[in-house]
Structure 1
Amino acid sequence: MSWVLSQPDLEIPLRGGVAGIARTIALVLTIESENPFGWLSGGELVLTTGTRLPATPAARAAHLRRLDERGVAAMGFGIGPAHAEIPADLIEVADEIGLPLFEVAISTPFAAIVARIAARSAQLRHDALLRAARTQPRMTRALVRSGARAIVRELATALRATVLVLDAETRVTDVHPDTPDDELLHTVRTAIATDPGATGGVHTDQGRSITHQRIGVGGRVHGSLVVVSPAPLSAVDQILLGHANSLLALDFEKPARLWEAQHRLNSTVLGLLLSSESDLAPAWTHLAQAADAAGRIRVLAAECDSLDAVDEIRSVAESMAVRSGHPLFLHLLARRVLVVLPGVAAVAFARELAADLGEGTRRSVRFGLSGEHPLPELTVAADAAGLAAAAAERGSAPSEFGALTGRSLLSFDSTRRVLDTLANTVLTPLIDHDAAHGSDLLFSLRAYLEANGQWEAAAAATGVHRHTLRKRIATAQGLLGCDLDSARVRAELLLAILARGS
């Protein structure tokens, strides 16, 4: 309500009921009826010119009180032919019951107020949905990384409220931001007790809204999720509450199959540690879950500039694995992250992982993806992924190992330094000659070398006659003091030119 009154161009000064200025408007209605009460359900801003209001002050007071009882958020009174000003008795009653009553100038059409509030409501709904869309994946990642406590923190932050988790005996197990006092805890427990066996409910107490939901799966109840907020939760807030409840239920439930899988993995690791023969067959059997139907894998490598980036990549990968239901095989080595992926799904996983990272993290990571390999070639795939990552640019899409052909030597610092030295040493006579005479010897030499010595193709690339090109290459050969008939010389010169120009 306060936002509407703050719009200066609408010219709607508040005349009464200032105590209710914090009320929320859900709908705007223009009503000229003696008996509109059956059409009202709460949260309405009623606009009227007062043409059908009762004639006496007592009747008008009763009319306004009934509007308040129906939950009307406010009334806008249009000044016009029916009333030159708002009746003083209406202002007095509005102040008494705390129902905001504002004046609408004759120059302000009701339609302008309706349009402004509709636009504001649409923007608030969009913002709320966007907030929910951002919060839900954060809560999912919080579950993977830190469990119930992190979910409670994320929900409390998103709702700007106090969130509690109570076990089946109504003992507080998690709370954020602060533990409530004994009086509020008693009120919460009473609210839960008034809904035995129910899924939850909403209660109000001393200007607070207490929303609670049962946490459980099937007939098993693990406790309650409670939100204490200044006002009832919106529909979007309820969506976030339900999402958090589902995640908490998963965390409490710990399905038996997950425990069994964890036990099998623990047994496998223990067996490997105790085995004097270091039999790795069980480990290979376990890793086979990562392969696709054809038994092929690809390895994704992420070279990170910081440990924070390592942590975020691990968190996002774990969240993606939870959503997909596929096992995650991830290995950390200093600032490198290796993920073993099914061959057919690796590219999509790698791109989604990179896209889900924060902008700052993405700019500090180089991703490399190996080609497809059979499972026993795991180390070969890991080495290939590492080479592809080393050749990738920070912040770019994952570089695939198979795409390195033709540029891999220029991608590594050690070989690049050698090639730069070669370029600066060998090519200087051509560069100086071109600068002094305005010639294109270096450009012509590159075209000749890239055409593998084919005169016609090289001449076409440079746009000159082949005889002109032959003369340029002869001049270049003389300046360089080398034999261009040697394949090794031609290879070194081409690499030097590419290193200088890349």
Structure 2
Amino acid sequence: MEPVVAPTLRTLLARAELRLELVSDPASLAEGALDLPVRWVHNSDLVDPTPFLAEDLVLLTTGAQLSDQDQSGAEEYVARLVHRGVLALGFGSGVHRVGVPAELAAACSAVGLALFEVPYDIPFLAVARAHAEAIAAQAYARRTWALEAQRALAIAALRPRGLESTLSELSRRLGCWVGMYDASGAMVHEHPAALTREADGVLDGVAEMLARGGAASRTLEDRDGGFTLFTLGRTGRLRGVIAIAAAALDPETRAVVTSVIAMAGLALEQNERMSRARRRLHSQLLASLRTDDPALARRVLGSLPPAPVAVAVAADVPRIAAIADWWERRRTDAGTASFIAEDADGLTMIVGADDDSLFEELALRFGIRIGVSGPQDYSAFSQAHAQARTALRRGAPGVTRYAVAAGGVLDALAGEEARLLARTRLDPLRRHDQATGAELERTLGIWLEHDTHSERAAAALGIHRHTLRTRIAQAADLLGVDLSSFPARAELWAALRAAG
């Protein structure tokens, strides 16, 4: 990046026409003292000029306020200047004294204040004017740089992949790394390539700004240096973040960066409109796929993930656009064929059955729940979609696969209505057991678990087989069923499972 600081004491001392001479030993000064930006040059012969001074300026004096051989007075005078933030003291030689007083030089050396001598024939006004001219020249150079940078960025925007070209040109103009992250927080472009992608704190800062959802800028400091982050897009609809490896930006640099932010926001908004149109098309193709006919989708898209496929459904997704961006970029990087679409059931994703580990990565990154079907051909797509919805409905946080969530047929039937019906059906047994201390319900359950084999069931209960038969007969009377038929036993078993 071109210099963004005001002219320094070193540049002032280097002006040959002024013939300024540094009296201080450079070794006695703090490191970089000569290279600090000087805000202004002022002159005063007051004993205490500090009420009228600003920080970061150079003070010129003829020494009229200083007494001869007054070491303590010189030290107090210099201490006041240092406390006020004066960067250097210029002594006008030959007005009251020839040469710099030794006591003043000693006082400046003791506290590390830069001291230089101004020749008698050089007016203080000439020194101040020289510094003012340097400030004006520096400001003109910065404005010229900004205009040239704006022109170069406008040309870059007209190239193929205009947004990436613009960001690369910005990096070259600033002389530092520039990176762009999409709405999911993933790196999508950087220049120079792979320079500071893993800088400590930058990824966390990007993620935090995207999570907040408000348009903002932020400065970060870490071991790799400073970074400035700018969001892209409107509050509530952020499209990404641009990161610049510079913590301090002067007004000209910030104006250039702001123009790039505006261009990037416009480009991303155009991309978003195209993405919305593509998502609407995919929603219509999903409706076609759910009829178990992939012909239309293949004609429109050219291809689909190869069968057998895994179908996944995610519902209540807060950042669908960010997920769609991440999914597309991850699919491109991995070379994975996939399909993604929205409908009333949520976000539906399709990959080849061998690539379904992508769902775990997605769920972890965005903290969402995903239900995944078993492998299916497109001729059974509607069944796969139903499996994914079932797995989502029954699943825990993260990814739930239908093979784990489905259980048996009876589990699928065990809804609230089934539980209510089962408990009502078993109520005579439960009231009898509660009143008498009998175990008719438990006896029935053990008997059915042992395929109605009396001897094995009696052994499991620790009772005689005749006792078992008596209990079964009593339970059948209470329930009003004939347990000698398979349908009656099957219905009773289902009721015991559903009732819990």
Q: TM-score range by the shorter chain?
A: 0.3 to 0.5
Structure 2-normalised TM-score? 0.46
**Higher alpha-carbon Rg:** 2
